[in-house]
Amino acid sequence: MPVLPDQHVINQIISGRYADPFSLLGMHEVAAGLEVRALLPDACQVWVIDAQKQSRVAELSRYDDRGFFVGLLPRRKKFFRYQLEVRWGDNVHIIDDAYRFGTLLQELDIWLLAEGTHIRPYEKLGAHPQNLDGVDGVSFAVWAPNAIRVSVVGEFNFWDGRRHPMRLRRENGIWELFVPAACEGQLYKFEIIDCRGHVSLRADPYAFEAQMRPDTASLVRKLPEKVDYSPERKKANALNQPVSVYEVHLGSWRRHADNNYWLSYGELAEQLVSYAKWMGFTHIELMPVNEHPFDGSWGYQPLGMYAPTRRYGSPHEFKAFIDAAHNAGLNVILDWVPGHFPSDAYGLAQFDGTALYEYADPREGYHQDWNTLIYNYGRHEVRNYLAGNGFYWIERYGIDGLRVDAVASMIYRDYSRKAGEWIPNHYGGRENLEAISFLQYTNHTIGKELGGAVTMAEESTDYPGVTLPPEANGLGFHYKWNLGWMNDSLKYMQLDPVHRKYHHNLLTFGVLYTYTENFILPLSHDEVVHGKGSLIDKMPGDAWQKFANLRAYYGFMWAHPGKKLLFMGCEFAQGREWNFNQSLDWHLLDDPNGWHSGVQNLVRDLNHTYQQQSALYELDFNPRGFEWLVVDDHENSIFAFARRDEHGNELIAVSNFTPVPRYGYRIGVSRPGRYHEVLNTDSHHYHGSNIGNAGDVYTDPYPSHQREHSLSLVIPPLATIYLRREDC
């Protein structure tokens, strides 16, 4: 006779509320032999099949009309591979039983996942197509330690949470199950009965693909193959190389004119990559492409951290886009958001009925500015989830760098909070020590394991040592956005030229701290949204002065120490503020001799000049690479400085931020000889007035600016010129 379980237990398994399905279902040893139990709702008849012999062994009895079957195999003493022959009405299927397979996670993985030091958690958690004991299927695993029961549901089981309840690994709170016959491309979710008894359907936190919003299911997808890191890509990220970044929102860079629909990853691979290469940029930075529910967040409120957004195509097509950029010699940076996540019901919020991924106290776990939740960085599994995600994009998609968003909001507990609205750390301070430790761990791990990849911090405060290594008490980033320089320089440029002499220090102050970090000079999307207008709109004066100001500013920026970043549309001086829901105004370039084409030509020439002149980048982070030549001419708003490389090659940049041309303006230089004007932002080619030095200028033995030799220059109005010292 079968050893029948208690009816209460059967009721629980049928109702989908039994937490230990492997103790009940599958093959079990009993006193009389082996017993097989199966839950197969709506089945009419079930036979046990010897998988090796492909013969019937025993018929299971329907113990409960709701689909619970049980049968004894009295002559069998040893476990064997079996299948179930199931008749549903007139249809008969031979299936593999999910409850005949053993545990999936190995002891080392369990240890590392619980410790928070598993470098590649995505290889174990989530959904993975595989062959187990000769059976094709998908292994599923999800962390939900406080759930009462977790089932995987999807197209393979009629979205019925009774059919595939998962095994809880009590060692670390991970639920796992191998589902035979499930396959790549199928939709799935996790049905969770949380600690309060509430049932919810959750997308997989580790899903490699997700449905297009507003649908929210995950898709079974193979883990992308690893991407080799070429020496060329590693070199392009180095501190002594030219780095000129084109920041792009894929959904609004360009759209189809007939229906305003997005370009696909494939179309972007052709159009965006070729354009960025032609413009002379070295890197493309993508605003977040992680799957996100709300278009208006621009991707900065992600939920599918491991899934490229389906808005523009499949993960395979996204990877092909990255490959196209690499083939064109462009590195790709991904905006990465470990700072917060939205509270959508299908996502991470209260995942198992508790604040699992987020801090429980809203004074720690809720962002007032964005109405989002804050990750609990002190929890090992959360650190694993996030740090592993950064590793995943670099190793599996070939991303060359991560620009980490809103670092200040992570490292300060009182960020954008009033007194009484935040909780101090255990020392009584305002720093979020857990977030700092997480950033140090992530940056150190990426730097150690994936040498060549870089991380970049958008950090808006004067936190010390953002780009120092963790062992020197730094955060370990390779680069930091210089938001101080950006704010000061834009504030200066917005002034009417007649007032600039009173604010001269806005352009000189930045050099006092430019060597404290490895800085990137950013003119990002943040400066052209939320009523701030466009960059060209910020410039004072009439149309001529606006465009001349912007060109002069770009010339100053490209010569200034620090790597460069420019948001899309700014390279041709788009007049309106950026709108994420429509294409850039490419029609402004229809006139090849117009204002906008002139700015585009300038940015292109700046990029190419920047790459050709090692003096402009090689010693970006070494004081030997910079020297002020004219720093105190407030009255004329003139700035002049020299940039040098390791071999002493020199380029001089001179900026005039008044609309008055300066003839015979004398500048002292350290080395006599011939200087060639290699770029002039007032050139006719850029739609300027074409005032300049007509090629070469020679030094005179006349002392000026505490130097024995000097140059007599023509400095155009509202313009920047570059002069390269030539060997005579």
Q: Over the stretch 205-219, which tens digit does the pLDDT of each residue have?
A: 999 999 999 999 999
Shared domain for 261 and 212, answered yes or no, is no
Annotated active-site residue 405? The verdict is yes
Q: Are residues 95 and 132 in the same domain?
A: no
- Average pLDDT rounded to a whole number, residues 189-215: 96
User: 77-81, 238-242, 259-263, 713-717: lowest mean pLDDT where?
Assistant: 77-81
pLDDT beyond 90 at 232 = yes
**Has residue 95 got a pLDDT over 80?**
yes
To the nearest 10 degrees (0 to 180), the angle between helices 107-115 and 380-397 is 110
CATH number, residue 297? 3.20.20.80
Task: Give the pLDDT score at 674.
Answer: 94
Distance of CA 702 to the CA centre of its chain: 54
Same domain membership, residue 89 and residue 55: yes
Same domain, 609 and 623: no
The parent domain of residue 608 ranges over 242-614
Stretch 151-176: mean pLDDT: 95
Long-range contacts of 309-314 (CB under 8 A, 24+ apart): 309/210, 310/209, 310/210, 310/211, 310/212, 311/212, 311/213, 311/250, 311/251, 311/262, 312/250, 312/251, 312/262, 312/263, 312/264, 312/265, 312/268, 313/264, 313/265, 313/266, 314/209, 314/265
**140: DSSP letter:** E
Q: Which of 558, 586, 614 is the last residue of a domain?
A: 614
Which residues contact residue 483 at a Cβ distance below 8 angstroms, ignoring those fewer than 6 apart?
Answer: 458, 459, 460, 522
Average pLDDT of 313-330? 97
Domain contains 706:
yes
What is the model's pLDDT at position 14?
Answer: 85
Could you tell me if 457 and 404 lie in one domain? yes
Say yes or no: 647 and 525 in one domain: no
Q: What is the mean pLDDT of residues 358-367?
A: 93
Give the number of domains in the chain.
4
Last residue of some domain: 67, 100, 133?
A: 100
More confident call, 727 vs 512: 512
- Spot the catalytic one: 458, 618, 620, 650: 458
Is 50 exceeded by the pLDDT of residue 8?
A: yes
**Within this chain, do residues 431 and 461 fall inside the same structural domain, yes or no?**
yes
User: Is residue 1's pLDDT more than 60?
Assistant: no
Determine, yes or no, domain membership for 136.
yes
Average pLDDT over residues 634-660: 97
User: Last residue of a domain, which of 38, 72, 100?
Assistant: 100
Average pLDDT, the chain: 95
SS (H, E, C) 168-218: EECCCCEEEEEEECCCCCCEEEEEEECCCCCEEEECCCCCCCECCCCCCCE
458 annotated active-site:
yes
Q: Are residues 293 and 382 in the same domain?
A: yes
Q: What is the pLDDT of residue 3?
A: 61
Task: Give the tens place of pLDDT for each residue, 572-610.
Answer: 999 999 999 999 999 999 999 999 999 999 999 999 999
Do 296 and 429 belong to one domain? Answer: yes
CATH of the domain at 653: 2.60.40.1180
9 band by pLDDT with thresholds 50, 70 and 90: confident
Q: Is the pLDDT assigned to residue 701 strictly greater than 60? A: yes
Residue of 191, 405, 620, 677 marked active site: 405
In a domain, 346, yes or no: yes
In a domain, 229, yes or no: no
